[in-house]
Amino acid sequence: MSISDHALKNDFPEFAANILELRKSDDDFRKLSDDYDSLDKKIRGLEVRDVPTDDQHFNEMKLERARLKDTLYKRLTRY
């Protein structure tokens, strides 16, 4: 199985400058992006180590990551 790194800078390279600027100037954006990065690392860690986790928990984590990404994307496009 291929494990994708869904870091914001990888998924939205066209917004790299905005990501850096918002992380410096917007505490809420920084917290959301930190939460997103942390959750993405947890998900990738489980995938890489093939750690047993129930499907519901794993799917909930992925849904939360998608929700955070959508929120961050909206903030990036409005910046």
Cα–Cα distance for residue pair 52/22, rounded to 1 Å? 36
The predicted pLDDT at position 6 comes to 81
The predicted pLDDT at position 26 comes to 97
Cα–Cα distance for residue pair 41/54, rounded to 1 Å? 18
Show pLDDT as tens, one digit a residue, over the chain (79 residues): 456 778 899 999 999 999 999 999 999 999 999 999 999 999 988 888 876 667 888 889 999 999 999 999 999 999 8
